[in-house]
C-alpha cells in the first residue's frame, strides 16, 4: 500500500449525473432508465457531503441537438462549490465556451472527439489540457474484443479503448473518463482489467466509471485499477451508501482521499 500512496495524489470520488430532458436519470447499460430526481437538488446533497467533483452528462444531446446541460450547470454552479464537468453533444469550441461560461470547470467530449480527433487539439489550445476530458465508452463487441462506442453505446467505432486513450492524450486531453457500457448501472463492479490497461498506458488521470455496487468497488478502482478517480451513481441512489461512507471506507483501505 505504501507504493500506492507514493504513486497517487489524493484519489477523487466523483458522482455522475445523467440528464434526460433536464431530469436526472439512472440507466442500465445506457438503455433502460428511471427518473431519480432533480439534478440541482441532488447536486446540493453531493456538495454537502464533500464530493470531490461532479460530472453531468446529457445522454441524448448528441442525437437531439439540444442542451439542457447549460442551464443545469449554471444553476448548480451558483449554489455549489465542487468542480463541475459537463458533457453531451459538445461538438464546437463555441459550445465548449458556453458550457464553461455557464460554470463548468471542465468539458467532456465523446462523439465529437471520435468523429473529429482534431477537436481535442482545438479545445486544448483554446482552454488548456486540464479543461479537456475525453469520455470513452466501450463494451465487448461481437468478436469478444473491447471496442469504443458512441451514441449511448450503440454506434461502433472500430477503436480500441487503450489505443484511443493514448491518441487522445497525445492530442491534448487532460483526463480520460472511461466507462464500461456492459457494466454501467449493473452494480457488479468495475472492469478492473481494462481500467488498469488504460491507466498504465497514459500519463494523464483516468476516471473509472461503470459498475460500482459497493464501497469496496471504489477502493478497487484505485488500488487494482490504477485509476486516479472513481465515478459512481447507482450506489448513491439505490443503497444506503453515501459520499461520507465511501470516503471513510477508502481511508480505511489506506487510500488518500479528501477529508
Distance CA 43, CA 16 (A): 10
Kindly report, residue by residue over 99-154, the tens digit of the pLDDT. Answer: 999 999 999 999 999 999 999 999 999 999 999 999 999 999 999 999 999 987 88
Distance CA 24, CA 219 (A): 26
CB of 160 closer than 8 Å to CB of 146: yes
CATH superfamily of 2-252: Aldolase class I (3.20.20.70)
Residue 5: per-residue pLDDT: 37
Q: What angle, rounded to 10 degrees, do the helices at 215-223 and 243-252 form?
A: 50
Specify the pairing of strand 146-150 against strand 155-156.
antiparallel
CB of 233 closer than 8 Å to CB of 18: yes
Cβ atoms within 10 A of the Cβ of 91, count? 17
**Concatenated DSSP letters for 62-78?**
HHHT--SHHHHHHHHHT
Residue ranges in the chain whose pLDDT is less than 70: 1-8, 22, 24-36, 61-68, 259
Whole-structure pTM value: 0.92
Distance CA 252, CA 143 (A): 40
CB of 147 closer than 8 Å to CB of 138: yes
Residue 90: per-residue pLDDT: 93
Segments of the chain assigned E as strands: 12-20, 23-27, 33-37, 54-58, 84-87, 106-109, 132-140, 146-150, 155-156, 175-180, 206-209, 229-232
**Domain limits, the chain:** 2-252
Residue 184: per-residue pLDDT: 87
Closest Cα to residue 187, out of 250, 236, 257, 222? 236
Amino acid at each position: 500500500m505504501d507504493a500506492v500512496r507514493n504513486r497517487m495524489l489524493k484519489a477523487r470520488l466523483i458522482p455522475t449525473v445523467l440528464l434526460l430532458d433536464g431530469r436526472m436519470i439512472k440507466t442500465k447499460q445506457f438503455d433502460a432508465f428511471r427518473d431519480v430526481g432533480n439534478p440541482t437538488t441532488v447536486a446540493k446533497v453531493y456538495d454537502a457531503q464533500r464530493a470531490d467533483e461532479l460530472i453531468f452528462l446529457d445522454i441524448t444531446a448528441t442525437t437531439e441537438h439540444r442542451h439542457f446541460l447549460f442551464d443545469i450547470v449554471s444553476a448548480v454552479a451558483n449554489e455549489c462549490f465542487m468542480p463541475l464537468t459537463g458533457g453531451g453533444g459538445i461538438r464546437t469550441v463555441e459550445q465548449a465556451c458556453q458550457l464553461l461560461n455557464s460554470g463548468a470547470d471542465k468539458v467532456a467530449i465523446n462523439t465529437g472527439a471520435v468523429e473529429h480527433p482534431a477537436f481535442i487539439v482545438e479545445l486544448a489550445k483554446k482552454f488548456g489540457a486540464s479543461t479537456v476530458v475525453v469520455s470513452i465508452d466501450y463494451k465487448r463487441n461481437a468478436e469478444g474484443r473491447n471496442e469504443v462506442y458512441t451514441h449511448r453505446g450503440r454506434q461502433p467505432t472500430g477503436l480500441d479503448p487503450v489505443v484511443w486513450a493514448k491518441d487522445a492524450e497525445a492530442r491534448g486531453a487532460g483526463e480520460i473518463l472511461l466507462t464500461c457500457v456492459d457494466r454501467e448501472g449493473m452494480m457488479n463492479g468495475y472492469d478492473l482489467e481494462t481500467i488498469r490497461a488504460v491507466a498504465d498506458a497514459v500519463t494523464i488521470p483516468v476516471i473509472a466509471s461503470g459498475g460500482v455496487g459497493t464501497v469496496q468497488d471504489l477502493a478497487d478502482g484505485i488500488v487494482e485499477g490504477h485509476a486516479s478517480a472513481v465515478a459512481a451513481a447507482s450506489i448513491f441512489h439505490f443503497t444506503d451508501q453515501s459520499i461520507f461512507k465511501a470516503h471513510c471506507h477508502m481511508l480505511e483501505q489506506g487510500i488518500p482521499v479528501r477529508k
